[in-house]
A and B are shown apart, each in its own frame.
Chain A
Amino acid sequence: MNKRNLILGIVLSTLMITSCVKDLDVKPKDPNTILAGNLGDDPVYMKEVLGKIYASFMISGQGSNGGDDITASDGNFFTTTRALWNVQEITTDEAICAWGDVGIADLNTQTWSANNPFLTALYQRLSLSITYANDFIKFTNGNSDPAVMQYNAEARFLRALAYYWDMDLFGNPPFTTDADRVGKFFPKQIERAKLFNYVVSELHSIEDKLGEPKFSYPQADQAACWMLLARVYLNAQVYTGTAKWDSCKIYCDKVINSGQYSLATNYRQNFSADNDGIHNPEMIFAWEQDGINTQGYVGTTFVIESSSDPIYIRAEDFHGLTSNTNWNGNRTKKQFLNVLVDTIATYGNVPIPASDPTFAQCKDKRVFCKTKKSMDIPSASSSGDYGIGVYKFTAKNTDGTQAANYNPAFASTDFPIFRYADALLMRAEALYRLGDKTNAVTDINAVRARAYGNATGNITTAQLNDKFLMNERGREFYYEAQRRTDLVRFGKFTDGNYNWVWKGGTYNGTNTDSHLNIFPIPGDEVSANPNIKQNSGY
């Protein structure tokens, strides 16, 4: 009897144990989690995974649900667009940052190392956006739904865009496509010129698969693809050693001839809360920002707040932002003010009078600057009270009213990537290089007429030269994260005898070594991936 009970007990416990071992095959029950195997269950998932690739360029992550996309010492500092802005602007004549955070001083003075946290995060995040895109492209390849195939093309566009920045900033990044797996492996490095070919061929391949221009802002459409091709060709000589001015012109033509875009009447609209492609005829492609739905101390919120301070440019007054304001970091330098404001034409051969701190007398209406405590910046790490404040980006609407989806802490102003003005100025540069100064001047004067409100700012073919083109791009696109790329193309970023305060760490600025024209591969990456070789000079 007892023995029978014991045997029965053993049998029962064996059964119980077997069923309990099955408990180990646990699946997540969290409603915020979807297993990879369930992605096909609801069509909206396709939109949401695609949306993530876009969002990965702007905001830090999934909010309180999933946290930041990368592990870094600060979530907002090290987002793609914010880090891109820093490495494209404070390394140049356009901006300097007062903050003492690790890595900022190195960017201010062009003395960065491979351990710079902004460069590390930007490099890692661009790769991450590419990995997100690879995953989505692999999942949707060959999908029978044409809508999904259009998303697939958008993901390929975003991947090409990330590779473009990789190519421009770091030269020789790791290279993965949707053919690669995800796990633990060492991606191969690609050379800059080969990457150029890849980016161009991808963009050609998806040109007809993307939506028509303006089909659904802010999603990438054919015009965005043409603009990226034009931008890549514009810099072809830097990337490959061979110029491609004619190709650049072809894709600018496509944008301009599409008839879908025009210059906004008011230049400032491009930097206001109503700058989106629905309200603004000039916006071709931008990263969405929204006070309610797409938040963060990133993108334009960062540009606005880091350029505001509690005395000279109060965010409360200038931008309608009242929460956590006035970070007092970024200003521009007097060398760039001389690019922006034609002081001789405006004020005569005298010092700029203190009575006009906002340069209101300047005829070029693209100047949104204000003198602070002094125009001079006494040290590379001087407080933000020194220098010339910039308030070009704002969280208000063009007419000064409060933004839709207003938030006191977060701007709803989208971050422009491609504007129609850029199509005109890229084409002008291509035409100039191809020897067609007349048509180049026509494009330039279209942009300048909008800036001046009339033809008084127009130039003649005689006035057109390299320096003018470089400076005109500065006047039009300052604080839009383009300056470093432009200076490198014109040979003025490092050793071109164009210097500004604290370049190279000296007050008057010095030439720096040309290896700085591309950034180092982060030390973290070189350690983690034996396939990656450091860029020369580092």
Chain B
Amino acid sequence: MKKRIFTMLSMLFLGILFAGAINAQGIKVSGKVTDAADGSSLVGVTIQEKGTTNGTITNVSGNFSLTVAPTATLIISYVGYTAQEVPVNGRTAINVAMAVGDLRLQEVVVIGYGTVKKSDATGSVVAVSSKDFNKGAITSPQDLLVGKSAGVVITTDGGAPGSGATIRVRGGSSLNASNEPLIIIDGVPIDNHNVSGSSNFLSFVNPNDIETFTVLKDASATAIYGSRASNGVILITTKKGKVGNPMKITYDGNTSISSAIEFLDEYSGDEIRQIALDHKDLFGVESFNKLGTENTNWQKEIFHTAVSQDHNLSVSGAYKILPYRVSVGYTDQNGIMKNTDMQRVTGSISLDPTFLNNDLKVNINVKGMSTNNNFGDRGALGSAINMDPTKPVMDGNSASDGYFQWINYGANLGTPNPVEQLMAADNKSIVKRVIGNIQFNYKIPFIPELHANLNLATDYTKGSGHNNRPITSPSVLTSPLWGRLSDYNGTNYNNLLDFYLNYSKELSQINSKIDVTAGYSWQHFKREGDSYIRGIEDATHPYQKTDSSSFITENYLVSFFGRLNYTLLDRYLLTVTVRDDGSSRFAKDNRWGIFPSAALAWKIKNESFLKNVDVVSDLKLRLGWGVTGQQDIGNDYPAQARYITSSPGSYYPIGGEFLPTLRPSAYDPDIKWEQTTTQNLGFDFGFLKDHITGSFDIYKRVTDDLLNTVTIPSGSNFSNVLLTNVGSLENRGVEFSLNLMPLSQKDMSLILGFNVTYNKNKITKLLISDDPDYIGILYGDAFTGQKQVTRVGYPAYSYFLNKQVYNANGYPIEGLYVDLSGLGGTVNGDNADKYIYHNPAPDYLLGFSARFNYKNLDISASARTSIGNYVYNQVAAAAAYDQMYAIGYWHNEPKYLSDTKFVKRQFTSDYFVENGSFFKLDNLSAGYLFDNLFNKLSARVSITVQNLMTITKYRGIDPEVNGGIDNNFYPRPRTFMLGISLTY
């Protein structure tokens, strides 16, 4: 199969190869190219003799000279300017003034293996450039894009320094396979697995280095990436130097202050003492002896106001024909939880030289990062909520370095002192990453329409760290109990080779243009790591536990791809792509998958009936269809029969000797690609000279052969579940984006952006056999119950709970639920009596942005609204009176308990599912530019507030909860930032 495709693609190319033109002898023409607006010289302008490969570029003074036929015509072109054709007519001196072109028509967007003029794009493609990014103290690239693009939902993992984010393009098309989009940085698809010790796989990119994000959403745009494209593709392009630009030095720096927005409402020490009195029949009088006299607010004890800083320096420009950009960045971010911080140094070099008369273009990109993370102990968040407020922070307890601690620890016992838990944690890592690539774009001399591209890339990440606790430090539910030494290391490797040919030709006889790309890609991902945990031994703490493990895992992807763009009459556009992907994850017979796509676009504006209608400045209809795949399933060997050895502590004696055991792993020899078929209908429009622009898309995505971990018949394989191809799901959605420019005067402008995303996810099949009574895949744990389900006919991860019965005053009656099955017996927690009640995904997401400029003053804001996302408030569900005093130890509980008055926890009550719809004013920023301060120095000073305001009915701290179960995540802080940007 793969041979056939390759042959097909080669034939296509050989078929269109034909002889190039022949150079003619002639006269030497010289001249200067200038900007028509201000007369300044333009450097790097391409001068080409029409119909030949003969050409040159202007030098630093804007001058050129070229030997051409006396009757030749020169084509003069420059990015951003309208190209001109100048007949030589025997002249030897020709000066040209170039005018800035129509920017929108010139706008080029990056697509897979190439670029396309935005006006010619046939797929659903959105580009967000640096001027539209979110402002503020932003340390990870994902944050720049939050709320900026319809169909792209980014949920940050919380407020921890350097934390990552979950990105979903048009909902998730997979269940157990990855739902992350493919991220490609300067042509390198990156490994989205975090290395040990890293919490954000994108943190190596300094947000200040990013020029644009291009999001490919529908299959006709993404299918050229075949098997990795089902969840969208995000192309990140970093800033580059430009030919002809003088050296520019830029410094960006900021200082920010972050603090927690609100704390969970909890009982004070006095209130706990009152509750003890009120409930003495429940807790017993002996419980009084265990109460302390303090009023400690443990949440306040673990948080503080954090000051962070960020410095970036970049130098860009061009040295002769070598455009360059070099940057370094330093970030020192402190978390609002004590003892959590991150220091990061980033560096990037980008060189874009050209050789051989512009025939060979080379791009070299190197990015490096070194990050020191201090993770602290997140467990302190939960401990701060549960720690008894009647106790002091310090009591001189010598066993625990002066901190108050309960005497004993165990599964149901004392909360560890949250301050000690946090401050004594030595949980640090160092992560280093280098990613580099070199791209060659060679214009084949005798076929000027043909370009050969080669891209070689390597991506290396190393993380190492430790998570230690001193022997004075207890911990709950971990072994060993006192003190721990834990080391880990991880390394990720990712190597890439892409080669493709691009042929582009105007066929003026038939008013057509063709653009054909065909290529080959090879990528290798390898990850390895190890960990070692042991207790600290001393006289009072004898041998506790040792645990060690290691892994090596790798996979290869080999692909052939091709694309044909055909344009007729500059009105009708056709794009056809095909990719043949081979993955080492699957067995030989299932290894190859073919992923085709087709798209049609109709530039209605160019039709005669609209051409002269001034009100409509742009109108384009897009239709797309495509099939994409998925193979990112975590396990690199799901089809191979393997045995895995056990680690120490899990041995068994055979022949009188403790030996590790060998366990056969569950495997599916027939596992294959998951396939998503997308249909997309879209419009791009512009009115009133593009003062109003936007686009509208409607789509349906159907995923079949879902890579799904399902319960399998007992006795059929080596586990109770198996990752296999079972089931189908669909996503339907609508996206709308609108950009308005109500003011566009020279000194004053206002730009408003607005986008809406609607997505509905539905499972359509789940089992190998079809059982209409199948309850679905349940999620939850033994301690807090099964609360979510993925079931046919409903959205994935819907809440699955008992229906609460309420008293006359509207309060829930403890343990009383509607007997939905009618079978009687135990209703509480019984799956037969549960029902599906909402789900975590929002129905609608709205993004708003505004940018106002008045002379040197600029103000910008961005905001988001999420409608219809429901949150299970597990913090509230965990509150019960019997938890307050258990086995001799007092605990605090959130004040939700005053409403429920539950004596025992009721985790499966639908009472705890709350509407999490919200409006968030994410950031507000104002800046002032002081230009020509000294010499050419200009300075922009700005102030920004992030996470300014949230409006929601949700009773927890923050309704924006990844996955829908609110269980004490690191709160997102409010941040005030003062920034300065100097340009020389």
Q: A and B from one assembly?
A: yes
Closest chain B residue to A309, Cβ basis: B887
Of the candidate stretches B24-32, B348-356, B380-388, B653-661, the one touching chain A is: B653-661
Closest chain B residue to A49, Cβ basis: B662
How many chain B residues touch the partner (CB < 8 A)?
117
Complex CA distance for A296 and B547, rounded to whole angstroms: 12
Complex CA distance for A381 and B882, rounded to whole angstroms: 11
Given the contacts A28-B640, A182-B717, A52 and B663 also touching, CB distance less than 8 Å: yes
A48 x B660 contact (CB < 8 A): yes
Closest chain B residue to A135, Cβ basis: B664
Complex CA distance for A303 and B164, rounded to whole angstroms: 42
B661 x A51 contact (CB < 8 A): yes
Closest chain B residue to A408, Cβ basis: B544
Complex CA distance for A125 and B720, rounded to whole angstroms: 8
Closest chain B residue to A124, Cβ basis: B720
Complex CA distance for A3 and B447, rounded to whole angstroms: 10
Complex CA distance for A130 and B520, rounded to whole angstroms: 47
Question: Do most interface residues of chain B lie in helix, strand or loop, or is the interface mixed?
Answer: loop
A409 x B650 contact (CB < 8 A): no
As a 0/1 sequence over residues 289 to 300 of chain A, the CB contacts with chain B under 8 angstroms (1 = contact) are 010111110000
Kindly identify, within residues 648 to 677 of chain B, every residue whose CB is under 8 Å from any CB belonging to chain A.
648-656, 658-665, 667-670
B720 x A71 contact (CB < 8 A): yes
B661 x A48 contact (CB < 8 A): yes
Complex CA distance for A139 and B865, rounded to whole angstroms: 60
A117 within 8 A of B: yes
B785 within 8 A of A: yes
**Which of B477, B769, B832 touches A115 (beta carbons < 8 Å)?**
B832
A6 x B647 contact (CB < 8 A): no
Closest chain B residue to A74, Cβ basis: B782
Complex CA distance for A465 and B544, rounded to whole angstroms: 50
Complex CA distance for A47 and B670, rounded to whole angstroms: 30
B612 within 8 A of A: no
A356 within 8 A of B: no
Of the candidate stretches A103-111, A331-339, A447-455, A471-479, the one touching chain B is: A103-111
How many chain A residues touch the partner (CB < 8 A)?
125
Q: Most A CB atoms within 10 A — which of B543, B642, B670, B781?
A: B642
B713 x A311 contact (CB < 8 A): no
Closest chain A residue to B663, Cβ basis: A52
Kindly identify, within residues 44 to 103 of chain A, every residue whose CB is under 8 Å from any CB belonging to chain B.
44-45, 47-52, 54-56, 59, 61-66, 69-74, 77-78, 100-103
Closest chain B residue to A173, Cβ basis: B714
**Which of A70, A184, A524 touches B716 (beta carbons < 8 Å)?**
A184
Kindly identify, within residues 293 to 329 of chain A, every residue whose CB is under 8 Å from any CB belonging to chain B.
293-296, 305, 309-311, 316, 322-328
B652 x A51 contact (CB < 8 A): yes
Closest chain B residue to A37, Cβ basis: B641
**Which of A78, A292, A381 touches B904 (beta carbons < 8 Å)?**
A381
CB distance from B845 to the nearest CB of A (A): 31
Q: Most A CB atoms within 10 A — which of B408, B531, B663, B832?
A: B663
Q: Collect the chain A residues with CB atoms within 8 Å of residue B822's CB.
A: none
A71 x B719 contact (CB < 8 A): yes
CB distance from A43 to the nearest CB of B (A): 11
Complex CA distance for A296 and B650, rounded to whole angstroms: 8
A180 within 8 A of B: yes
**Which of A63, A101, A131, A311 touches B718 (beta carbons < 8 Å)?**
A131
Complex CA distance for A406 and B543, rounded to whole angstroms: 8
Closest chain A residue to B641, Cβ basis: A36
A20 within 8 A of B: yes
Q: Collect the chain A residues with CB atoms within 8 Å of residue B36's CB.
A: none
CB distance from A412 to the nearest CB of B (A): 12
A184 x B668 contact (CB < 8 A): yes
B718 x A49 contact (CB < 8 A): no
Given the contacts A52-B652, A184-B668, A293-B648, A64 and B410 also touching, CB distance less than 8 Å: no
CB distance from B491 to the nearest CB of A (A): 13
B550 x A31 contact (CB < 8 A): yes
Question: Do most interface residues of chain A lie in helix, strand or loop, or is the interface mixed?
Answer: loop
Closest chain B residue to A23, Cβ basis: B556
A529 x B409 contact (CB < 8 A): no
Complex CA distance for A532 and B645, rounded to whole angstroms: 33
Given the contacts A54-B652, A294-B650, A182 and B548 also touching, CB distance less than 8 Å: no
Complex CA distance for A121 and B719, rounded to whole angstroms: 11
Complex CA distance for A284 and B583, rounded to whole angstroms: 52
**Which of B412, B713, B780 touches A186 (beta carbons < 8 Å)?**
B713
A527 within 8 A of B: yes
B810 within 8 A of A: no
CB distance from A224 to the nearest CB of B (A): 15
Given the contacts A13-B520, A34-B662, A381-B904, A2 and B479 also touching, CB distance less than 8 Å: no
Closest chain A residue to B718, Cβ basis: A131
Complex CA distance for A56 and B652, rounded to whole angstroms: 10
Q: Collect the chain A residues with CB atoms within 8 Å of residue B658's CB.
A: 290, 293-294
Complex CA distance for A530 and B480, rounded to whole angstroms: 45
Kindly identify, within residues 1 to 47 of chain A, every residue whose CB is under 8 Å from any CB belonging to chain B.
2-3, 6, 10, 13-14, 17, 20-21, 23-37, 39, 44-45, 47
A35 x B640 contact (CB < 8 A): yes
CB distance from B40 to the nearest CB of A (A): 39
A123 within 8 A of B: yes
Q: Collect the chain A residues with CB atoms within 8 Å of residue B650's CB.
A: 55, 59, 61-63, 65, 294-296
Complex CA distance for A37 and B660, rounded to whole angstroms: 19
Closest chain B residue to A48, Cβ basis: B662
Complex CA distance for A109 and B825, rounded to whole angstroms: 10
B357 within 8 A of A: no
A142 within 8 A of B: no
Q: Collect the chain B residues with CB atoms within 8 Å of residue A526's CB.
A: 771
B645 x A32 contact (CB < 8 A): yes
Q: Collect the chain B residues with CB atoms within 8 Å of residue A101's CB.
A: 782-783
Closest chain A residue to B476, Cβ basis: A324
**Which of B554, B714, B882 touches A124 (beta carbons < 8 Å)?**
B714
Kindly identify, within residues 711 to 726 of chain B, every residue whose CB is under 8 Å from any CB belonging to chain A.
711-722, 724
Q: Collect the chain B residues with CB atoms within 8 Å of residue A292's CB.
A: 543, 649
**Which of A30, A121, A288 touches B552 (beta carbons < 8 Å)?**
A30
A47 x B659 contact (CB < 8 A): yes
Complex CA distance for A183 and B651, rounded to whole angstroms: 27
**Which of B10, B531, B652 touches A55 (beta carbons < 8 Å)?**
B652
Q: Most A CB atoms within 10 A — which of B583, B646, B724, B785?
A: B646
**Which of B649, B655, B886 touches A47 (beta carbons < 8 Å)?**
B655
Complex CA distance for A79 and B646, rounded to whole angstroms: 16
**Which of A62, A73, A288, A316 touches B780 (beta carbons < 8 Å)?**
A73
A183 x B767 contact (CB < 8 A): no
A63 x B649 contact (CB < 8 A): yes
CB distance from A299 to the nearest CB of B (A): 12
Given the contacts A54-B652, A324-B481, A408-B544, A39 and B643 also touching, CB distance less than 8 Å: yes
**Which of A6, A128, A406 touches B720 (beta carbons < 8 Å)?**
A128
Complex CA distance for A106 and B825, rounded to whole angstroms: 9
Q: Collect the chain B residues with CB atoms within 8 Å of residue A385's CB.
A: 887
Complex CA distance for A102 and B664, rounded to whole angstroms: 30
Given the contacts A62-B661, A183-B717, A184-B724, A20 and B481 also touching, CB distance less than 8 Å: no
A262 within 8 A of B: no
A326 x B652 contact (CB < 8 A): no
B713 x A216 contact (CB < 8 A): no
Complex CA distance for A34 and B411, rounded to whole angstroms: 37
Given the contacts A20-B522, A28-B553, A71-B709, A186 and B661 also touching, CB distance less than 8 Å: no
| 5 pairs, A vs B, C-beta closer than 8 Å | A17-B6, A32-B549, A52-B663, A54-B654, A527-B767
Q: Which residue numbers of A lie inside 8 Å of B, CB to CB? A: 2-3, 6, 10, 13-14, 17, 20-21, 23-37, 39, 44-45, 47-52, 54-56, 59, 61-66, 69-74, 77-78, 100-103, 105-106, 109, 111, 113, 115, 117, 121, 123-125, 127-128, 130-132, 135, 173-176, 180, 182-187, 216-219, 288, 290, 292-296, 305, 309-311, 316, 322-328, 381, 383-385, 406-409, 505, 523-532
Given A55-B650, A183-B669, A216-B656: 7 more A-B contacts, CB < 8 Å:
A35-B642, A39-B643, A51-B662, A64-B547, A184-B668, A219-B654, A407-B543
Closest 7 CB pairs of A and B: A127-B714, A63-B647, A529-B713, A36-B641, A63-B650, A52-B661, A74-B782
